[in-house]
């Protein structure tokens, strides 16, 4: 099983309907929640660990998890409210987020709320602002340290300046998590925000030297680059008509994790031993998945049937 940890929320897409009014299209979201749903859509078993409100929006989040086949056994239901994220897109479909979530359910997880696993998950994935904001950030670090001897750890920094504007804080937190992490997926935009004076190859190699086994840097429409100790591969992007890029990184993350399992990766030795041909197929699969999401509105992640050709080619 994959266990995905972090936030579950509602994205509100704003559209101006008059000088005085702003209409909203509310969509279920949250980077980790998207990753969990992306995995089940690809036919994988996934559970979600996070705080979900008992309010009306929280009930909708739980119903969505049930509908998507994501295990609810690790949910922490609370009386705190659901985070709202106001999404505004530029002319290229790139989203900007404004979060309304201080003391919301997804942030108020503590060490006392950590789940127990009957069997260790194959992967434990964390990312986005719940890896930074307290008290959940401390709880997630404790969970990583507890599970790391038995479980592969995946991390997506997914920097959110509207949650925390201090880029030095994001940088320190990311660097703290790197030695605890086996797979790091990060966007070039995020690296520009937190490490503007380092080149992408230098960052990737430094993170590998600190203990990571696989570092993948996504570059939007330009594809992605994967780094291991032994090799580096570049996969170009796919030309499509972009509706928006909401959920593209989460789609890439879900496809990456599912692809690693399909390649037979079950431990750090297997992860570090991926060869160039395997990485090309793996990253190509994730790029294609992300492109499908970009062709649709919001975080509407693809299902396995839409990627059957690429899935079959993985091995």
Of the chain, the percentage scoring pLDDT greater than 90 comes to 83
pLDDT tens figures, 63-87: 999 999 999 999 999 999 999 988 8
40 and 34 Cβ atoms separated by less than 8 Å: no
pLDDT at 19 over 80: no
For residue 117, what are the contacts with CB-CB under 8 A and spacing of at least 6? 3, 147
pLDDT of residue 92: 67
Position of tokens 């993948």?
216
pLDDT at 273 over 80: yes
Which residue has better confidence, 33 or 315?
33
Spatial distance between the Cα atoms of 265 and 80, rounded to a whole number of angstroms: 38
Q: Where are the domains of the chain?
A: 2-313
Spatial distance between the Cα atoms of 207 and 143, rounded to a whole number of angstroms: 21
What's the mean pLDDT in 193-216? 98
φ and ψ at residue 278, rounded to 5 degrees: -65, -40
**How many alpha carbons fall within 13 Å on the CB side of residue 307?**
31
Q: Residue 16 — very low, low, confident or very high, per pLDDT cuts 50/70/90?
A: low
Spatial distance between the Cα atoms of 69 and 80, rounded to a whole number of angstroms: 25
pLDDT of residue 18: 65
pLDDT tens figures, 78-116: 999 999 988 877 766 677 778 899 999 999 999 999 999
- pTM for the complete prediction? 0.94
Kindly report the average pLDDT of the chain as a whole number. Answer: 94
**Helix, strand, coil fractions of the chain, as percent rounded to 5:** 40, 25, 35
What's the mean pLDDT in 118-125? 97
Which residue has better confidence, 18 or 242?
242
What's the mean pLDDT in 306-313? 92
**Cα angle 79, 84, 85; round to 5:** 155
CATH 3.40.50.970 fits 2-313, yes or no: no
């Amino acid at each position: 099983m994959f266990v995905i940890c972090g936030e579950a929320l509602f994205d509100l897409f704003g559209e101006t309907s008059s000088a005085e009014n702003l209409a909203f299209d509310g969509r279920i979201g949250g980077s980790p929640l998207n990753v969990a749903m992306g995995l089940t859509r690809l036919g994988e078993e996934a559970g979600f660990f996070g705080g979900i409100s008992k309010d009306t929006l929280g009930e909708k989040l739980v119903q969505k998890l049930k509908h998507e086949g994501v295990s609810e056994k690790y949910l922490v239901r609370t009386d705190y409210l659901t985070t709202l994220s106001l999404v505004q897109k530029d002319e290229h479909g790139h989203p900007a987020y404004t979060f309304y979530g201080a003391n919301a359910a997804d942030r108020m997880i503590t060490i006392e709320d950590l789940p127990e696993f009957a069997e260790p998950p194959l992967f434990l994935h964390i990312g986005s602002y719940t890896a930074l904001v307290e008290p959940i950030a401390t709880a997630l670090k404790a969970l990583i340290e507890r599970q790391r001897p038995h479980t592969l750890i995946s991390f997506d920094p997914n920097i959110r300046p509207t949650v925390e504007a201090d880029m030095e804080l994001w940088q320190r937190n990311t660097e703290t998590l790197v030695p605890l992490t086996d797979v790091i997926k990060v966007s070039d935009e995020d690296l520009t925000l937190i490490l503007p004076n380092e080149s992408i190859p230098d960052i990737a190699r430094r993170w590998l030297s600190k203990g990571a086994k696989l570092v993948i840097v996504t570059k939007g429409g330009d594809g992605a680059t994967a780094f291991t100790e032994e090799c580096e591969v570049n996969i170009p992007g796919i030309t499509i008509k972009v509706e928006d890029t909401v959920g593209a990184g989460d789609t890439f993350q879900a496809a990456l994790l599912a692809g690693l399992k399909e390649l037979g990766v079950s431990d750090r030795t297997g992860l570090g031993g991926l060869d160039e041909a395997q990485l090309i197929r793996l990253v190509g699969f994730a790029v294609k998945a992300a492109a499908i999401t970009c062709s649709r509105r919001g975080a509407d992640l693809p299902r396995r049937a839409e990627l059957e050709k690429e899935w079959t080619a993985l091995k």
